[in-house]
Amino acid sequence: MNLHSLENQYDNIQDKLIDLYAHFHQNPELSFMEMNTSAKLINELRCLGFEIIDNLGGYSFVGILSNGEGPTLAFRTDMDALPILENTDSAFKSIKKMKDVNGNEQPVMHACGHDLHMSTWVGIAKLMSNNQGNWKGTLVMIAQASEEWGAGARSMIEAGLFKKIPTPSYILAYHNAPNMAAGEIGYKAGAFMSGVKTLELKIKGIGGHGAEPQNTIDPIVMASKLILDFQTIISREIPPTESCVLSIGSIHGGFTHNVIPDEVNLQMTLRFFKSEIADKVIESIKRISNGIAISSGLEASNYPELKIIDTACLPPVENNHEYTLQSVAYLKEIAGVQNVNESEPVMIAEDFSLYSKTTDNIPTTMFWIGNADRDKLKSAHSKGKTLPVLHSPMMYPDYKNCIRHGTVYMSELLIKWFNNLNK
């Protein structure tokens, strides 16, 4: 089996995969609501002879292709889209709207490229099914819902994912990258994406009339001080050699112009690679918050309350060193040395991280695969600009080349791993 052979086989399924991509792009579904997307993918895999195990946490499911004695390898895709109004000139631009889990109507777009992931995933399933004479073992295709909420992987694991499938020797995934040309691969052994903790801080005060502030303890003033003081946690308390981000994304307090409220609420995101660094930041938030409350004259019962939203917290994505570097060696053979480059860790989070955190200690690797048109990317860089990023309403990938390269590269990689582990 060689890349040229898979490239030729891909030509026979390309139109089908592009049609599939167009369907997913025009029919995106929000997190927890991927009913039709899941059904479409299930049908695709059933037609290829995969055994389906569904209801693995929402609309998540797996397809299993048993092909004789050998190792089990898994490949994961996500399925959900974002509440974003698309602003592209795509021939199959999304104009879809749907109600979210709270009943609010939202525009919906695959602005994170999960439609690319799914189309590639189906392409991999097709090529692996068509080439069963070139590998032996069990292939598990994981289709995960609700990645954007960081909830899908956790739900699958809690629903018994690893009790219902053979334990994989290795789990792979990729994420499309708009800052890389289609056909290019980015990798990082070790820390690949950051962990995240979602924090809510309730700042209490004593409300009253805006014309009589002397009779109040103003939580808006306290919040203003805290927002500024929190910035010094990263710059003055965390070693500059450690990567960490604390951002305040929401501040809410009061409801009219002449009333000082009783409380203000902040919502924050904390990104990190080491849990001890995250713990240090959280302790500093508590210390600084209590200090402001004391200096404002509040009693201990009214000190700020910090809440960690456990369901919105994830560990870092940590690519297994040994398996990742072996995969990189294979990919350099497959795609060419010039197309496989080490990337820097990023401060976005991904619940793919959870698959390696079970008691099974399964090795995992996530790669970047470029989605950008090479000429457009080169032109943008020459002007000191970038192409629209992930989660942008203008994100418009070179989908034909991204799906082609992703399908062929990852299929060949899986075949090499099956043969390696069968030695």
Which residue ranges are tagged as binding site?
A: 112, 114, 148, 175, 391
Structure tokens at 407: 């399908």
Annotated binding residues for Mn(2+), written as ranges, equal 112, 114, 148, 175, 391
Element (H, E) at 193: strand 190-193
Helices (H), 199-255: 219-232
Burial of 298 (0-12, 13-18, 19+ CB in 10 A): buried
Q: How far apart, in whole angstroms, are the C-alpha atoms of residue 417 and residue 204?
A: 56
Do residues 136 and 340 make contact, with C-beta atoms less than 8 angstroms apart?
Answer: no
Rounded distance between C-alpha atoms, residue 133 and residue 38, angstroms: 29
For every residue of 91-152, DSSP letters joined together read TT----EEE-TTS-EEE-B-TT-HHHHHHHHHHHHHHHHHTGGG--EEEEEEEE--TTTT-H
Distance CA 290, CA 303 (A): 6
- Cα angle 303-308-309, degrees, rounded to a multiple of 5: 135
Beta partners for residue 271, in sequence order: 196, 245
3-state secondary structure of 214: helix
CA dihedral 274, 286, 253, 272 (to 10 degrees): 0
Contacts of 87 (CB under 8 A, 6+ apart): 393, 394
Cα angle 315-319-321, degrees, rounded to a multiple of 5: 135
49: nearest Cα among 136, 139, 114, 121: 139
CA-to-CA distance for 347 and 345, rounded, in angstroms? Answer: 7
Q: Which two tokens stand for residue 302?
A: 């009214």
Q: Do residues 3 and 414 touch, judged by C-beta distance below 8 A?
A: no
Beta strands in 242-334 (DSSP E): 244-253, 259-260, 263-272, 305-308, 317-319
